[in-house]
Amino acid sequence: MDEKLMDNSMNHPRIPMDILLQSRTPFYYYDMEVLHQTLEEIKRHTAGMNCVVHYALKANGNFNIISEIAKYGLGADLVSGNEIKAAIEAGFPAHEMAFSGVGKTDWEIKLGLEKGIGCFNVESIPELDIINQLASEMGKTAPIAIRVNPDIDAHTHKYITTGTAENKFGIGIKALLPVVRHALELPHIHLRGLHFHIGSQITQMQPYVMLCQTINALQDHYEQQGIRFEMINVGGGLGIDYNDPDTHLIPDFKSYFSTFKQHLNVRPNQLIHFELGRTIVGQCGSLITRVVFVKENRNKKFIIVDAGMTDLIRPALYGAYHKIENLTAGQAEPMEVYDVVGPVCESTDVFAHDRELPLTKRGDLLAVRSAGAYGESMASTYNMRDLPGSIFSSPL
Ligand code: LLP
């Protein structure tokens, strides 16, 4: 397919010209080869480890994406009944599904029990009791892990920090032992292990080293009480390079997995669960949008595009940086400084402030890069806008 690709200096997103020019914008463009390479890398770096990597569907639940991921034998990390349904339809095996979330409702718990999912990641005593009760009514035993809040600051954006004491997630270490004992006593609960997740877009390995140390100390302590776990879920959260996606198209899985190999004291026959979302799908997706107008206000130049915060909310919600490329500007155009904004009636509907881009004009096509994770899955119809479309690089 290479000769069909646009002949421009960048290698990604490699969007065929006919797709680019004929498709209705805005749309997500997914480079399936990048997705496959990413999954291959995960396979390579986990070879020989007694582990299951669960894909966190919340990052991107597009059917074509999740069914490709399922083919690689990954498990699924789910946070709603509808995600359970989608994962089953995509081909993930039920026994490799983990169901997280602080507010699981009865129908969602029942669905998980009925489908025979591999693990409920339980976040509170009331939830534990309800799962036990519903499992008893259905004549089943629920496999669970208890989500621990390890009080580790992953030094990431405060909206995506999950493992500190002030977050709603999990049970604090000091309060944990009675919950573990309670779980062990409940007749319709099978306690498999402990679950941790310290945050998202984590680019340093130090917080993971601290997580391993915390888990090691906890396991030592619990073993003295005669409690052993068959499984430990270390969560996800590894970050991607938003600034320079082409240099780091495949995330640094080597450092990530070797951190756990080196620092986590895995017990004999103990299974490790990982739950990765962003690193699996982040770099394969770009949001493609068309320039509607270029306007100037008090010495500021605005590029107004047809995509908005309804299509990709990360810049508006977290002030997140995404690289933006003009796919149709000529190579020789001079550079200008712009704010790139959407059409939605909100002042935060801004993709970039003071961004250098080649001279841009009405009709140009821009790619907002690294948008495969938490892009399409967080889209909304605010202002009664259409949801963005999706186009894939290879025939599916
Ligand atoms: N496991 C649990 C329990 C989680 O809460 C999450 C993400 C993951 C795994 C996957 O984390 P990942 O590997 O994708 O970092 N919308 C935000 C990110 C929210 C993350 C929520 N939890 C963003 O756009 O940055």
**3-state SS track over 326-355:** ECCCCCCCCEEEEEEECCCCCCCCEEEEEE
Please name the residue whose Cα sits nearest to atom 3 of ligand 1: 197
Q: How many CB atoms lie under 10 A from the CB of residue 250? A: 16
Residue 168 Cα, ligand 1 centroid: separation in angstroms?
A: 14
Residue 162 Cα, ligand 1 centroid: separation in angstroms?
A: 9
What CA–CA distances, in Å, run from 38 to 69, 114, 244, 250?
10, 33, 16, 6
What CA–CA distances, in Å, run from 176 to 100, 189, 229, 298?
17, 16, 14, 58
Please state the atom number of ligand 1 nearest to the C-alpha of residue 147: 3
- pLDDT for res 165: 62
Please state the atom number of ligand 1 nearest to the C-alpha of residue 320: 25
- Which residues make Cβ contacts (< 8 Å) with residue 187, sequence separation at least 6? 132, 136
- pLDDT for res 6: 43
- Which of 83, 275, 280, when mutated, tests ligand 1's pocket best, judged by the most ligand atoms within 8 Å of its CB? 275
First-residue to last-residue Cα distance in the chain? 14
DSSP string for 217-230: HHHHHHHHTT---S
Q: Which of these, 2, 9, 24, lies nearest to 391 by C-alpha position?
A: 24
CB 387 within 8 A of CB 71: no
Please name the residue whose Cα sits nearest to atom 15 of ligand 1: 237
Q: DSSP label at 306?
A: S
Residue 277 Cα, ligand 1 centroid: separation in angstroms?
A: 6
Residue 83 Cα, ligand 1 centroid: separation in angstroms?
A: 14
- pLDDT for res 7: 42
Q: Which tokens in the block code for residue 152? A: 């580790």
Residue 198 Cα, ligand 1 centroid: separation in angstroms?
A: 9
- Alpha carbon dihedral 247, 253, 259, 265, in 10-degree steps, equals 180
Q: For residues 222 and 177, give the distance between their C-alpha atoms in angstroms, rounded to a whole number.
A: 8
Please state the atom number of ligand 1 nearest to the C-alpha of residue 101: 3
Q: Which tokens in the block code for residue 225? A: 């009480």
- pLDDT for res 166: 61
Residue 3 Cα, ligand 1 centroid: separation in angstroms?
A: 37
Q: Is the peptide bond before 93 cis (omega within 30 degrees of 0)?
A: no
Ligand 1 cavity residues, CB under 6 Å: 56, 59, 77, 100, 160, 162, 197, 200-201, 235-238, 275-278, 314, 318, 374
Residue 59 Cα, ligand 1 centroid: separation in angstroms?
A: 7
- Which of 278, 317, 380, when mutated, tests ligand 1's pocket best, judged by the most ligand atoms within 8 Å of its CB? 278
CB 269 within 8 A of CB 308: no
pLDDT averaged over 10-residue windows placed end to end, the chain, 396 residues:
38 76 94 97 98 98 98 98 98 98 97 98 96 98 96 69 66 94 98 96 96 97 96 98 96 98 98 98 98 94 98 98 95 95 97 98 97 98 98 77
CB 366 within 8 A of CB 282: no
CB 259 within 8 A of CB 350: no
- pLDDT for res 161: 58
Q: Tell me which amino acid residue 59 is.
A: A
Q: For residues 184 and 191, give the distance between their C-alpha atoms in angstroms, rounded to a whole number.
A: 6
Residue 343 Cα, ligand 1 centroid: separation in angstroms?
A: 28
Residue whose token pair is 């017990």: 267
CB 160 within 8 A of CB 199: yes
Please state the atom number of ligand 1 nearest to the C-alpha of residue 373: 24
Q: Which of these, 339, 341, 363, 388, lies nearest to 290 by C-alpha position?
A: 363
Q: For residues 117 and 75, give the distance between their C-alpha atoms in angstroms, rounded to a whole number.
A: 10
**φ and ψ at 212, to 5 degrees?**
-60, -45
Strand-pair category, 142-149 with 365-368: unpaired
- pLDDT for res 15: 85
Q: Sign of dihedral through CA atoms 208, 214, 218, 221?
A: positive
- pLDDT for res 157: 62
Please state the atom number of ligand 1 nearest to the C-alpha of residue 54: 9
**φ and ψ at 133, to 5 degrees?**
-65, -45
Q: For residues 395 and 308, give the distance between their C-alpha atoms in angstroms, rounded to a whole number.
A: 28
- Burial (CB count <10 Å: 0-12, 13-18, 19+), residue 335: exposed
CB 202 within 8 A of CB 211: no
Residue 71 Cα, ligand 1 centroid: separation in angstroms?
A: 22
- pLDDT for res 4: 36
Q: Which tokens in the block code for residue 50? A: 């007694």
CB 14 within 8 A of CB 393: yes
